[in-house]
Amino acid sequence: MSLVGILVALIVIGVLVWAITKVLGVIAIPEPFKTIIWVIVVVVAVFIFLEMSGLYSFTGSAIRIR
């Protein structure tokens, strides 16, 4: 993945994480559950970025776009 592709992926993932953070701030959820949801969101965002960058593959074979 090129540098531009990585930057676009980081911006998209950042906007999604920001939106989820704002929604969690509005919804009245007890603190332990907010922390659990936040950890899950961060882990999923990292896996999505690794999948998009080609460093990790859920299917077992990385898809390389050249």
Kindly tell me the burial class for residue 20, based on how many C-beta atoms sit within 10 Å of its own C-beta (0-12, 13-18, 19 or more). Answer: middle
Summarize the confidence of residues 43-56 as an average pLDDT.
Answer: 78
**DSSP character for 64?**
P
Are 16 and 45 spatial neighbours (Cβ–Cβ below 8 Å)? yes
pLDDT tens digits, 8-34: 888 888 898 888 888 888 888 888 888
Residue 25 has what pLDDT?
83
Three-class SS state of 58: coil
Residue 63 has pLDDT above 60, yes or no: no
